[in-house]
Structure 1
Amino acid sequence: MNPDAEERAVTRDPLLPLPRRVEVAIIGSGFGGLCMAIRLRHAGIEDFVLLERADELGGCWRDNTYPGAACDVPSHLYSFSFEPKTDWSRRFAPQAEIRDYLHHCAGTYGLRGHIHFHTEVAGAEFDEAAGLWRIHVAGGRLLEARVLVSARGQLNRPAYPKLQGLERFEGKQFHSARWDHGYPLEGKTVAVIGTGASAIQFVPQLAPRVKQLFLYQRSAPYVLPKRDRAYGRVARALFSWLPVSQTVSRWWTYWQNESRVLAFQGPAWVRRLLERQFHRHLERSVPDPRLREALTPTDPFGCKRVLLSNDYYPALTRPNVEVVTEGIREVTPHGIVTGDGRERAVDALIYGTGFQATDFLAPMRITGRGGRELNEAWRQGAEAYLGITVSGFPNLFLLYGPNTNLGHNSIVFMLESQVRYVLACLRVLRERHLRFLDVRPDAQRDFNARLQRGLERSVWGAGCTSWYKTAEGRNTNNWPGFTFHYLRQTRAPRLAHYEAV
């Protein structure tokens, strides 16, 4: 058995007994949870657990196993700064390789004995007198923790379309994040609903295999070329023998990506340059002017997620692929009827409809001081101070929380900044013998007022709908500026912004 397979076999064991009380409880074992756990061990803190509802670690890189799944951030940047990998196969790593990297990190840093699988958190309430979070685990178990860290992220609960008649469909149906690899798609007529980041990766893989593919597009995305390439033996040897070469590659990539924030916050001429690049890519890939028109977005560039692909547009030109822009009226037992009354018979429905990204900690029930529930505090949309702490919920820290998603750079950079901040808060709790830290409501309010003003000045304030926003139009997901500004703001906690008890 190879080391990665052995690691996965070990970490699948769900029988690890849950302790009664720990100093830190971490929900989730993706990039955020593992980073938090590794840094706790670096700081000499061993009294922690990772609570994972699945039978394997990896977060979204465990869940998204659809054909063609890969990262759209270069691999040298989409990995921990303290654990570089010198043998990535490609500039943009495929899903299985990223999953194996996370297993490697868990094994290298001795996290096996801290991860509890099949352990779903149903809710938690804060005991103000004791300064403890009481965490309710499915199955009736109870865990107490001084500090609760949510590392569930934003992309963990699939979003399913609300379509009339969906329950009547008699064929196969599944979401891209719950791919059914046991269902043979060869020779089938398949409907794909959605044209987001997942669909542009799996549609080119399906098109040559299926008899007919209908792609139901509500709005066309901007798709730019993906500057991908395989790393040859010489390149991998160089990264291994001369580690500074990978460090240079990482930082060069970082600053290249960081400059892209100008597409969202900068002058209009920057977006016009990128729009021209998009049109050249579309024209080179799609000869049919009618299809090009259907694939041309009507929203401002960057208002929705900008996607990267070299094979998406060519796949849509295949004779067995049809892009359907007419809205869906209903689903029948054997197909889909669009607004023009036409029914297309299909064998399977595949949803590329993304995630419930604005719900954050749902469906967990989190209760803070005075019995206030987090879903009530977030009734107008989720918000947090620095995307990490929420007033009225002491010693609760969020990784990849509200308004820390990026449209231009690596979320791993943001996670490392957040973990550093959480550790600093934990040191304050320990060194000052505090019961809890609770961010002041005025500090949270002022931070989010500034943040929302920044978002309103960005292209995301242009009025389009996207998964970045709630149904009411509030942007709860994106960070509106440079990541080095976020790094500076999270370098150390400003205790004047906290109630220290």
Structure 2
Amino acid sequence: MEPDTPSEPSLSASAKLRATLSFLRSRVGNLRRSHYGAKLAEGDVLVLGAGFSGLLIGIKLKESGIPFTIIDKEEDVGGTWLLNRYPGCACDVPAHLYSYSFEPNPDWSEAYAAAEEIHAYIKRVYEKYDLAPRTRLRTRLKRAMWVPQLRRWRVALESGEVLQPRFLFSCVGALHYPQIPDVPGKESFKGTMFHSAEWDHATDFSGKKVVVVGSGASAVQFVPEVAEQAQRLVLLQRTPNWVFGRGEWLLPARYYPENLKWTYRNIPLARAAYRATLYWKQELAMSFGGLFDARDNPRSRLLHAQGRGYMASHFRGRKELRDKVIPTYPLGCKRICKSDVYLDSLRRPNVDVVVAGLAEVQEDGVVDTLGTKHQADILIFGTGFDIGSVGEDVQLVGTGGFSWTGNSAWRQGHQAYLGTSMQHLPNTFVILGPNSVLGHNSVLLMAEAQADYALRLLKEALDHDIDSFAVKPRVLQDYNRWVQEQFTDKVWSRCSSWYQAETGDIIALWPRTTYDFFTCLYNAPGLREDYEVTAADAPVQARL
């Protein structure tokens, strides 16, 4: 019988020690080939997506001897780092943290790796672990529906083929499908128009009038590149972003010198120590440095003053730009952007920052929400992504009438237990699901912890002949009540952003340190405690 009040996750020192030991045991266990492959048939495990998370799951399954298939709609692996190739595209997490812990790269060329270098790393890992025989590219999902009579998923592909996996891993990523404003007139525009995630590399900006809609993380990276070429660039900015330089303690000004790369390549302990130091620097900024703290205290006031001072230093003598570009909302409410060149690019004589949104597109330009028209030869949308979208033409149908199309699940505030298990999606693991995105560290750390948790549950299901499982409603509700309570003293609870669902809950972010997340996952009870399970009542073949 369930207790009336399930306990909330423990983050005590002893809990963290137990989590650390569990993590180490999981790494040692991965070195041993397991017997689980004999308990599953080909096609029983399906992984959706061949980006960082999908390949991670593939590697973990392969280490456990479990047969699997990865499908992806694109022509190559890489996910967001295959699709996003706009000028200046790079990760805003230090490169030595933005890689698998078990597959370090000593040869990162820059402190913050560019998209091309990250994609090359992904390809090397893909080839090293020989995942190609298990990967089906150019394979587009149309509909996945849970069939309770079979205790399997019925997965319809765009080609007409139907798959029937027992277990599903959703690794499509939270930031994948471009978001383009729904304004009138887009079809009438006679110039070149595209989203930053669908960059037209054939476009020549020389001598052209360019309008950029949006000033978020992508625009911060590509605006300086475009501004150098365009005759005129108008930036339509609804809300400014906090922008910091890339120069930080422990990081090179830009490129890693060859002697350091040699050291990291030939002295693994030095490389591991460097990564660990970077990791704890990020963690301490969150836990003790006042980052994202909504309370009025000396630490948060100092961070805010430093941020404002840094940005203001780039606009000396340009009060009108300071007033437009420096945010008035608390530091961290929206994602903090990093660039050494963006703020200076806004000072260029051919750049005009307009504090307004997009109201209408006309054949020769755009009209902003203030009613001003701006002539344009090229229109670029730097307007982000549909958070948590599986695709507007894709549908996941679970139990209890649950249906996930586009970003409906995230927008409506559907919850996930430990960011991984959603109540109405049986036998399914969502990697980097609700409340597992970060504002201060590498999401790959989160994905690895989720992968270990998911594999532990999958093996438990096979060990105990469990046919289907779904997280208990009470467990899910209590966990997510606790998660939302953790936002009380964080800045995200004091402002609106894409981190929030329509319900007002903060659905995207994890509110604490990554080590706290690891503690929750590695100490979490198993299937028979936290999940409603159905035991196998007949051989699988008999039911099919």
Provide the secondary structure at the position in 2 that maps to 1:145.
Answer: coil
Match of 1:467 among 480, 498, 508: 498
Q: Which has the larger displacement, 57-66 or 325-334? A: 325-334
Deviation of the 1:282 alpha carbon: 1.4
Matched, 1:241 2:266: yes
- 2:352 aligned with 1:322, yes or no? yes
Q: 1:378 to 1:335 in 2, by over 3 A?
A: closer
Matched with 1:213 is 233
1:264 to 281, 292, 310: 292
Partner in structure 1 of residue 428 of structure 2: 396
CA contact (8 A) 2:76 2:137 kept: yes
User: Hey, what does 2:375 align to over in structure 1?
Assistant: 345
Hey, what does 1:27 align to over in structure 2? Answer: 48
Q: 1:380 offset after TM fit, Å?
A: 3.4
Asked if structure 2 preserves the Cα contact closer than 8 Å seen for 1:130 and 1:435, the reply is no
* Aligned mates of 1:105, 1:321 — CA distance in 2: 41
Task: Indicate the percent of aligned positions where both proteins have the same amino acid.
Answer: 36
For 1:477 and 1:83, the matched residues in 2 are separated by 27
- 1:374 positional shift: 4.4
Per-residue deviation at 1:210? 1.0
2:305 matched to 1:280? no
* SS state at 1:156 partner: coil
Give the superposition deviation at 1:472.
4.5
Match of 2:123, SS? helix
Deviations along 1:121-146, whole A, 9 cap, x unmatched?
A: 11211222332211111121111111
Separation (CA, whole Å) in 2 of partners of 1:336 and 1:471: 29
Alignment of 1:32-431 (within 5 A): 32-45=53-66, 47-227=67-247, 228-261=253-286, 262-265=290-293, 267-268=295-296, 269-287=298-316, 288-359=318-389, 363-369=393-399, 372-374=402-404, 380-431=412-463
Give SS of 1:293's match: helix
**Counterpart residue type for residue 157 of structure 1:** Y
**Shift, 1:41, TM fit:** 1.1
Contact 1:224/1:306 (<8 A) preserved: yes
Paired letter, 1:419: A
468-477 or 98-107, larger mean C-alpha shift:
468-477
Equivalent in the alignment of 1:485: 516
Instruction: Please give the alpha-carbon distance, in whole angstroms, between the structure 2 residues aligned to 1:380 and 1:342.
Output: 35
User: In structure 2, how many angstroms separate the alpha carbons of the residues matched to 1:475 and 1:374?
Assistant: 19
Separation (CA, whole Å) in 2 of partners of 1:371 and 1:70: 40
SS in 1 for 2:166: strand
Q: Distance in 1 between matches of 2:385 and 2:409?
A: 22
Sort the Cα spacing of 1:361 and 1:487 in 2 relative to 1 into closer, same or farther, 3 A.
farther
Return the offset for 1:497.
1.0
CA contact (8 A) 1:90 1:229 kept: yes
Q: 1:10 corresponds to which residue?
A: none
**What is the aligned partner in structure 2 of residue 6 from structure 1?**
none
Q: Deviations over 1:184-223 (max 9, x none)?
A: 1122110011000000000111111111111111011011
Residue matched to 1:494: 525
Distance 1:185 1:379, change over 3 A: closer
CA distance in 1, matches of 2:371, 2:472: 56
User: d(CA) in 2 for partners of 1:237 and 1:482?
Assistant: 32
Cα deviation for residue 362 of structure 1 reads 5.5
Kept in 1, the 8 Å contact 2:410–2:507? The answer is: no
Contact 1:218–1:327 (8 Å) recurs in 2: yes
The whole-number CA distance in structure 2 between the counterparts of 1:379 and 1:101 is: 32
Gaps of 5+ in 1: 1-19
Displacement of 1:341 = 3.7
Going from structure 1 to structure 2, the CA distance change for 1:299 and 1:377 (only over 3 Å counts) comes to closer
Give the Cα separation in 1 of the matches to 2:305 and 2:369.
Answer: 33
Which region of structure 1 is more displaced relative to structure 2, 363-372 or 329-338? 363-372
For normalisation by structure 2, the TM-score amounts to 0.85
Q: Deviations over 1:377-415 (max 9, x none)?
A: 777312111111111321111001011110011000000
Shift of 1:264: 1.6
Which deviations, in whole Å up to 9, do the C-alpha atoms of 1:132-184 show, x marking residues without a partner?
21111112111111110000111111000122322322111000000000121
Structure 2 distance, partners of 1:178, 1:59, is 13
- Change in Cα spacing, 1:377 to 1:413, as seen in structure 2 (3 Å) is closer
SS at match of 1:22: coil
Query: In the superposition, relative to structure 1, how do residues 444 and 171 fare at CA in structure 2: closer, same or farther (>3 Å)?
Result: same
Question: In structure 1, what is the equivalent of residue 18 of structure 2?
Answer: none
User: Which of 419, 423, 434 is the matching residue for 2:466?
Assistant: 434
What is the distance in 2 between the residues matched to 1:385 and 1:340?
Answer: 44
Whether contact under 8 Å (2:366, 2:374) holds in the other structure is yes
Do the aligned partners of residues 39 and 109 (structure 1) sit closer, same or farther apart at CA in structure 2, a change above 3 Å counting? same
CA 1:61 to 1:378, structure 2 compared with 1: closer, same or farther past 3 Å?
closer
Q: Deviations over 1:407-435 (max 9, x none)?
A: 01100000000000010011101111110
Give ranges in structure 2 of 5+ residues lacking alignment. 1-40, 248-252, 535-544
Would the alpha carbon gap of residues 420 and 265 (structure 1) be closer, same or farther in structure 2, given more than 3 Å must change?
farther
The two structures, once aligned, show a CA RMSD in angstroms of: 1.8
Deviates most, 89-98 or 269-278: 269-278
Q: Which residue of 1 aligns with 2:10?
A: none
Given residue 26 of structure 1, which amino acid in structure 2 is its aligned partner? V
C-alpha deviation, 1:440, in angstroms: 0.5
For the structure 1 residues 338 and 362, does the alpha-carbon distance in structure 2 shift closer, same or farther, using more than 3 Å as the test?
Answer: closer
* CA deviation string 1:293-339 (max 9, x = no partner): 11111222111111111100010001111111134442221112234
The range that moved more, 173-182 or 342-351, is 342-351
Q: Between Structure 1 and Structure 2, how many residues are aligned?
A: 480
